[in-house]
Structure 1
C-alpha cells in the first residue's frame, strides 16, 4: 500500500511563455496547473525529475515512471487541437511518432515517451532537414483518419465564410486582391478535401531525435484531409536558412520541390492547399489587428504564386 501523499500543494514556477500566451484567455487553466501536476504525479505514480518546461500551449514536466522509465508529462487545456492528440499518435505507426504511455481524455493530459533534446531545427543542413521531414510525411500521410477527427473541409469552409468580412481590413488593394485569389484556389479544391490523418503543424521543431528511431514526430493538431495541406510549414520555418541562400524565392521553391519529390504529392493540389494555409494565416493575423500581410508570408506567396 502506498503512503498517503502530503496535503501541501506543490509550488511551481509557471514558465513565462505560458503566462504570456494564456493569462488573458485562460487564467483559470494557468491557476490549475500546480494541482494538475500533483494529481497526475499521484495517479500515474510518477516522480518529477527535472525543471518544468513549456511549449506555446502546454506545461511539460520531465518525470520518471514507477518502473524507472523516463517520460514527459504534458499538461494542456482542452480544445479542438488537443482533444484528439493521443488518438492521432496512437493511430500512426509507432516507428514514426512519439509514444503515448497514458492519457486522460477529459483534460487532454498526456504521459509521453521522453525523447532526446534535439529537433530538426538544429540539424545544420536545412535541405537534409527538409528531406527528413518529407520522408516522415510519406509515412504519416498514408494513414486514414479515425472517426471523430476534425475535418479539413470544415476548417477550409470556415475560412471561406470568414474571408469576405476580414479581407477588406487589409489596407493595400493589391493585398486584398491577392488574398481573394488565394480564397478562390481553396474554393476549387474544397469539394475533395481528403480523408488522411493530418498533423497540421509538421515543421522542424515538431520532429525530435530519439534512441529507438533517428527522428520522431510530436505535437500534432489532428485533422482529416488532403496531405497537400501539410506542406506549408516546411516552406517558411528555418527562415534564416532560406535568407542565407541569397535567393529567397528560389530557396522557398526548392523546399517545396523537395517535399513534392519525396512525397509524390501532386503539384497543383500542393499549391492549392498551400494557398489555403497562407490564406488561413492572413485571416488570423488580420483578425488580430494586422492591416498588411506579414513580410515572410508575402515572400512565400511571391515565390510560389507569381
Structure 2
C-alpha cells in the first residue's frame, strides 16, 4: 500500500532502535487500516498516470486560486537565498555537465526572481500527497491535498513534484504542459520556476556532500531546456 522511505527507516532505527524498526515494519498495515476506516484511496493508486496528473492539476488550481495569508515564508526569500548560495555550491559538484546545468537553472531563476508571486503554495504536492475525499464528510468524488509546506509565491514553483514523482523521462514535457494549462500559467515563467526547484534540490545535495545531481532532476532540467 505504501513505500517506506529509506531515510525514515534509517532514522527510526538509529534513534529509536528496536522500537523504531517495529514502528516502520507496522506502517503499511497502519496505513491500510486508516485508508479503509476513512474511506480513502491514494492518488498514486490511479493506474492511468496521465489521469493522475490531471487530478493533481485540478487540486493545484484550487489551491493557487487563493492569495497566501500574511506571515508565510515567501518564494522571493527562497529565491534570494538560492541565488546567493549558488556560486559557491555549484562549484562543489564533481561533474562539469551538472555544474553547467545548475548554473543554467540559476540563470533562469534570476530572470523571474523580481516577480515571485503571492499565491498560496503547497510546495510538495505529488501523487502521494493527494487523497480521495471521504463520503461521510460530504467530499465524495473530491480530491484533497495533505502535508503542505505553505509558501507564498508563483504557482510555477509547484510543478516539479508532479514531474519527479512517478518519474518518466518521456512524460516530463507532457506533464509540464498539462499542468501549466490546468493552472493557466505562462509557460516560460513556469519553466523558470520549475528549474528553480532543480536548483534548490541541487544546492541542498551539494551542501550534503553529494557530488552529482539526482539523475531524474537533471533529466527534468534538460527536457525543459530542450536538450
Q: What is residue 238 of structure 1 aligned with on the other side?
A: 166
Pick closer, same or farther for the CA change 1:21–1:222 going to 2, 3 Å. Answer: farther
- Structure 1 residue 18: deviation in Å? 4.3
- Structure 1 residue 115: deviation in Å? 4.4
Does residue 143 of structure 1 match 2:63?
Answer: no
How far apart are the structure 1 equivalents of 2:84 and 2:12? 27
Pick closer, same or farther for the CA change 1:22–1:222 going to 2, 3 Å. Answer: farther
Q: What is residue 102 of structure 2 aligned with on the other side?
A: 179
CA-to-aligned-CA distance 1:265-287 (integer Å, 9 cap, x gap): 11011101001001011111222
Pick closer, same or farther for the CA change 1:194–1:121 going to 2, 3 Å. Answer: same
Q: What is residue 263 of structure 1 aligned with on the other side?
A: 183
Q: Secondary structure at the match of 1:291?
A: coil
Does residue 21 of structure 1 match 2:11?
Answer: yes
How far apart are the structure 2 equivalents of 1:219 and 1:166? 29
CA-to-aligned-CA distance 1:127-169 (integer Å, 9 cap, x gap): 0000010011111111011111111111111111111111111
Q: What is residue 21 of structure 2 aligned with on the other side?
A: none
How far apart are the structure 1 equivalents of 2:131 and 2:47? 14
How far apart are the structure 2 equivalents of 1:235 and 1:163? 23
Is the 1:116–1:208 contact (alpha carbons within 8 Å) kept by the matching residues of 2? Answer: no
Does residue 275 of structure 1 match 2:195?
Answer: yes
Does residue 222 of structure 1 match 2:150?
Answer: yes
How far apart are the structure 2 equivalents of 1:17 and 1:115? 28
Compare the two structures and name the one with the higher helix fraction: 2
How far apart are the structure 2 equivalents of 1:279 and 1:300? 11
Q: What is residue 52 of structure 2 aligned with on the other side?
A: 129
How far apart are the structure 2 equivalents of 1:238 and 1:19? 21
Q: Secondary structure at the match of 1:169?
A: coil
| Structure number with bigger Rg | 1
Q: What is residue 117 of structure 2 aligned with on the other side?
A: 194
- Structure 1 residue 301: deviation in Å? 1.4
Q: Secondary structure at the match of 2:114?
A: helix
Pick closer, same or farther for the CA change 1:18–1:297 going to 2, 3 Å. Answer: closer
Unpaired runs of at least 5, structure 1: 1-14, 32-50, 63-70, 73-113, 243-247
Is the 1:115–1:209 contact (alpha carbons within 8 Å) kept by the matching residues of 2? Answer: no
Does residue 301 of structure 1 match 2:221?
Answer: yes
Q: Could you tell me which of 83, 87, 95 is aligned with 1:160?
A: 83
Q: What is residue 213 of structure 1 aligned with on the other side?
A: 140
Matches of residues 79-98 of structure 1 in structure 2 within 5 Å? none
Backbone CA RMSD of aligned residues? 2.8
Unpaired runs of at least 5, structure 2: 18-24
Query: Normalising by structure 2, what TM-score?
Result: 0.82
**Which one has more relative contact order, counting CA pairs under 8 Å at least 6 apart?**
2
